């Protein structure tokens, strides 16, 4: 096996696509979709059935309440009118008055009381406030009861409409069902399922309050309150009939809405020629009045005239056409809903089989919803012994692979791919159970991909370090191809022009960049130890190729550090009376490299002289010398004894490692030990 090439190495996309097709065939994908659709159908049917049953109960209770209210209202409204005997009493009172004032004369009877008509003798009737309050409460209660029954009927019509045309088990039917469920949630139909019970409760409260009131008079107050309630109901009926005309995904579909929809559609088609002629005439005169340079502002209006989008389609087409124009979102919500409504781990295991049917832009929202559902479930778990739901690692890995292949397959925008990769990589957790060789393929693809954004490569670099750390400790060894991909990624990461920290402002750019470079060296050390391990499966030439690539990366590290301006290097800081050495350059070199166990193990190996050159140790010596010179020049840092002790320990450790390396060079030919 020849040494690794100097250029970046990444998996072949066509081979990876074939591997994905073999790993997730269409037959398995079909079975998974059928399982998803079955669970979603069961949930959807149960939801609609439950709401229908609730509306039936509302209708029964509303009928009983209306039957109880009617006799009371029949009797109570009489208190708003005068009694029939009031006129007779007024006439008798007038007769009695005239008789009292009468005097008998010769041949006649005279009276001093004036004569009045029947209308003048009747008393003026004024209803009491109690009568008015009684009728207001009871009539309002009756209206609320009838309103709840009317709203229950409307909701039943919506639910019946949502249940039609869902026979069969095809993908088209499943998408249609998912589209209707999404509309059901978007338009908050559940709110109108809750309103009728509330109205019935209000009606009951009003009825009980009316029992405490006695009489009221018939006047505009009763009419105003009743008219307001009835007007609210009429407004509701009008709005839910108009909304399906404006928004095609509206679930408020009923026979009334359909009739209004057809009337509006027929009216628009009827007036379209006249309206088009008037708009043409208006635009013509406006174009004559406007200057030549301003006539382009009329172009959108001409486009409106020639477009047919403002014409309404048929009722059936307006209801069924949208699902097929947005299949990606519907497939994503179907796959997510299959898990979030059942919390069945099998759905997470089957998720990679259907990720190829979900657009790249929908991958991040899908895992966001699944992760949110998992968090909610963990918070609601009452049994502390029940283990949390796991299994996102494999779906996330497949989703990232699918995302990176989307650019070649569908021409997806690089910004969408970058944002999706960042969202998915942030959810990845590298554990002992992670398939390291498969995930290393993804890291190589990310470093090979030209995102125009440093976020994906920065996250991938952190995952690369985690994979190398676990790979050297776990039972599963990294293959030669994985080590090749790891070295290729580290070769890209060591380049200052590709570093996300090189172009930042202030001294922090040096601080973060130095740490980043040392982390790259750590990755090279782990890859070298993996290749030189006695348990490795690499051949002699493969191990030598890994070491040669690592040596080239360390050579770039030496060049980068030789070009650094150490005036902005890391230095210790005082905070109060406590010395913070974690920010010093000496501490970073000691912690990240000289005192790091894997680096010491590599230096103890006789074959380490192949990858670790004298110039590498000279570079570290120069960095420590610069840190010491900086401390001596700065008056504020001269009294830091702890920094001085740390510098001495780091220098001694570096000299001891350098002596061990020189001893290895004199004693043995390193390539003899490759593969042993």
Tokens 């589209």 belong to: 179
Residue burial 560-587, b: 16+ Cβ < 10 Å; e: rest: bbeebebeebbbbeeeeeebebeebbbb
Res. 239: pLDDT tops 80: yes
Tokens 């709005």 belong to: 239
260: tokens are 């209004």
Neighbours of 38 (CB within 10 A): 13
Res. 96: pLDDT tops 80: no
* pLDDT for position 304: 61
pLDDT tens digits along 299-347: 566 566 556 555 666 665 665 555 555 777 888 888 888 888 888 888 8
Neighbours of 491 (CB within 10 A): 23
- The DSSP line for 461-474 is HHHHHHHHHHHTTS
Neighbours of 187 (CB within 10 A): 19
* pLDDT for position 479: 87
399 phi and psi angles, rounded to 5 deg: -65, -40
371: tokens are 């992760």
User: Could you tell me whether strands 108-111 and 573-575 are parallel, antiparallel, or unpaired per DSSP bridges?
Assistant: unpaired
Tokens 């070298």 belong to: 528
Contacts of 253 (CB under 8 A, 6+ apart): 157, 158, 161, 162, 244, 319
Residue 156 confidence class, pLDDT cut points 50, 70, 90? very high
236: tokens are 């509701």
Q: How far is CA 1 from CA 4, 207, 487, 546, 669, in A?
A: 9, 92, 16, 11, 20
* pLDDT for position 613: 83
Residue 581 confidence class, pLDDT cut points 50, 70, 90? very low
Considering 17-21, 213-217, 409-413, 554-558, the range whose residues carry the highest mean pLDDT is 554-558
How far is residue 165's CA from residue 154's CA, in Å, rounded to a whole number? 19
Residue burial 23-35, b: 16+ Cβ < 10 Å; e: rest: ebeeeebeebbee
Neighbours of 535 (CB within 10 A): 7
Can you tell me the mean pLDDT for 108-133? 61
* pLDDT for position 579: 43
Residue 575 confidence class, pLDDT cut points 50, 70, 90? very low
DSSP state of 505: S
Residue 105, H or E segment: strand 102-105
* pLDDT for position 571: 53
Considering 85-94, 204-213, 457-466, the range whose residues carry the highest mean pLDDT is 457-466
Tokens 């159908």 belong to: 41
**Strands (DSSP E) along 448-508, which ranges?**
none
How far is residue 401's CA from residue 39's CA, in Å, rounded to a whole number? 27
Yes or no: say if 199 and 145 are a contact pair by the CB < 8 Å rule: yes
Res. 556: pLDDT tops 80: yes
Selection from 445, 453, 442 nearest residue 415 by Cα:
453
* pLDDT for position 675: 41
Beta bridge partners of 111: 102
pLDDT tens digits along 520-555: 999 999 999 888 888 888 888 888 889 899 999 999
Tokens 């399906």 belong to: 244
Does residue 57 or residue 654 have the better pLDDT?
Answer: 57
- Please measure the distance between the N-terminal and C-terminal CA atoms of the chain and give it in whole angstroms: 17
How far is residue 123's CA from residue 83's CA, in Å, rounded to a whole number? 11
Can you tell me the mean pLDDT for 466-475? 70
pLDDT tens digits along 274-306: 767 776 776 667 666 666 555 566 556 656 655
Res. 399: pLDDT tops 80: yes
* pLDDT for position 671: 47
Considering 122-136, 264-278, 331-345, the range whose residues carry the highest mean pLDDT is 331-345
Q: Which of 127-141, 166-180, 567-581 has the lowest mean pLDDT?
A: 567-581
pLDDT tens digits along 24-78: 888 888 888 888 989 899 899 989 999 999 899 999 999 898 888 888 888 877 7
Selection from 423, 427, 466 nearest residue 443 by Cα:
466
Yes or no: say if 546 and 528 are a contact pair by the CB < 8 Å rule: yes
* Average pLDDT of every residue of the chain: 76
* pLDDT for position 576: 42
* pLDDT for position 113: 53
Helices marked H in 307-454: 315-320, 327-340, 345-354, 360-380, 393-410, 414-427, 436-448
How far is residue 552's CA from residue 49's CA, in Å, rounded to a whole number? 69
* pLDDT for position 323: 52
Domain spans, the chain? 21-81+126-253, 86-121, 262-324, 496-676
- The DSSP line for 6-31 is SS-----HHHHHHHHHHHS-HHHHHH
Confidence (pTM): 0.65
Residue 289, classified by CB atoms within 10 Å of its CB into exposed (0-12), middle (13-18) or buried (19+), is exposed
* pLDDT for position 233: 78
* pLDDT for position 247: 79
Res. 238: pLDDT tops 70: yes
Helices marked H in 104-170: 118-121, 129-163
Residue 577 confidence class, pLDDT cut points 50, 70, 90? very low
How far is residue 258's CA from residue 314's CA, in Å, rounded to a whole number? 10
């Amino acid at each position: 096996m020849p040494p690794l090439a100097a250029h970046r190495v990444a998996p072949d996309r066509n081979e990876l696509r074939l591997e994905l097709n073999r790993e997730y065939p269409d037959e398995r994908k079909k079975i998974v979709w059928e399982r998803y659709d079955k669970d979603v159908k069961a949930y959807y049917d149960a939801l609609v059935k439950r709401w229908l049953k609730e509306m039936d109960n509302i209708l029964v209770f509303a009928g009983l309440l209306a039957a109880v209210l009617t006799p009371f209202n029949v009797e109570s409204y009489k208190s708003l009118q005068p009694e029939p005997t009031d006129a007779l009493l007024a006439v008798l009172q007038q007769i009695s008055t005239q008789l009292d004032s009468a005097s008998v004369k010769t041949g006649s009877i005279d009276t001093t009381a004036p004569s009045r008509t029947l209308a003048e003798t009747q008393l003026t009737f004024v209803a009491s406030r109690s009568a008015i309050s009684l009728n207001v409460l009871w009539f309002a209660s009756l209206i609320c009861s009838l309103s709840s029954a009317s709203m229950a009927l409307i909701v039943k019509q919506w639910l019946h409409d949502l249940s039609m045309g869902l026979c069969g088990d095809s993908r088209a039917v499943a998408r249609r069902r998912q589209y209707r469920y999404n509309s059901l949630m978007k338009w908050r139909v559940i709110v109108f399922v809750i309103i009728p019970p509330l109205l019935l409760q209000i009606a009951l409260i009003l009825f009980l309050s009316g029992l405490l009131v006695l009489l009221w008079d018939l006047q505009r107050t009763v009419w105003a309150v009743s008219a307001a309630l009835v007007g609210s109901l009429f407004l509701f009926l009008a709005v839910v009939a108009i909304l399906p005309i404006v928004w095609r995904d509206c679930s408020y579909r009923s026979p009334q809405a359909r009739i209004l929809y057809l009337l509006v559609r027929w009216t628009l088609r009827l007036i379209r020629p006249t309206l088009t002629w008037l708009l043409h005439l208006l635009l013509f005169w406006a174009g004559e009045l406007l200057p030549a340079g301003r006539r382009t502002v009329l172009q959108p209006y001409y486009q409106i005239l020639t477009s047919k989008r403002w014409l309404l389609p048929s009722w059936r087409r307006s209801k069924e056409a949208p699902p097929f124009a947005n299949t990606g979102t519907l497939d994503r919500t179907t796959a997510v809903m299959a898990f979030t409504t059942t919390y069945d781990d099998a759905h997470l295991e089957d998720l990679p089989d259907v990720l190829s049917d979900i657009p790249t832009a929908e991958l991040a929202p899908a895992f966001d919803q699944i992760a949110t559902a998992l968090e909610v479930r963990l918070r609601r778990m009452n049994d502390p012994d029940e283990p949390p739901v796991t299994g996102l690692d494999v779906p996330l890995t497949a989703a990232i692979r699918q995302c990176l292949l989307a650019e070649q397959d569908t021409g997806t925008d690089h910004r969408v791919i970058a944002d999706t990769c960042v969202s998915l990589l942030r959810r990845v957790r590298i554990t002992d159970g992670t398939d390291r060789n498969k995930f290393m393929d993804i890291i190589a693809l990310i470093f090979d991909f030209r995102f125009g954004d440093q976020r994906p490569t920065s996250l991938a670099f952190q995952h690369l370090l985690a994979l190398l750390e676990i790979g050297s400790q776990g039972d599963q060894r990294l293959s030669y191809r994985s080590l090749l991909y790891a070295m290729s990624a580290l070769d890209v990461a060591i380049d200052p022009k590709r570093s996300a920290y090189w172009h930042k402002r202030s001294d922090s750019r040096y601080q973060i960049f130095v740490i980043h470079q040392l982390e790259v060296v750590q990755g090279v050390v782990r890859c070298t130890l993996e290749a030189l391990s006695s348990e490795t499966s690499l051949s002699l030439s493969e191990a030598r190729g890994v070491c040669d690539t690592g040596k080239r990366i360390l050579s770039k590290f030496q060049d980068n550090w030789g070009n650094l301006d150490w005036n902005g290097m890391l230095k210790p800081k005082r905070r109060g009376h406590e010395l913070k050495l974690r920010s010093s350059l000496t501490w970073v070199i000691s912690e990240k490299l000289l005192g790091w166990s894997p680096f010491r193990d590599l230096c103890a190996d006789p074959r380490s002289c192949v990858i670790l050159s004298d110039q590498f140790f000279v570079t570290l010596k120069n960095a420590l010398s610069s840190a010491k010179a900086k401390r001596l020049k700065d008056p504020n840092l001269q009294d830091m004894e702890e920094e001085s002790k740390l510098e001495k320990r780091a220098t001694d450790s570096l000299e001891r490692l350098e002596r061990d390396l020189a001893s290895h060079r004199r004693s043995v030919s390193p390539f003899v030990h490759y593969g042993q």
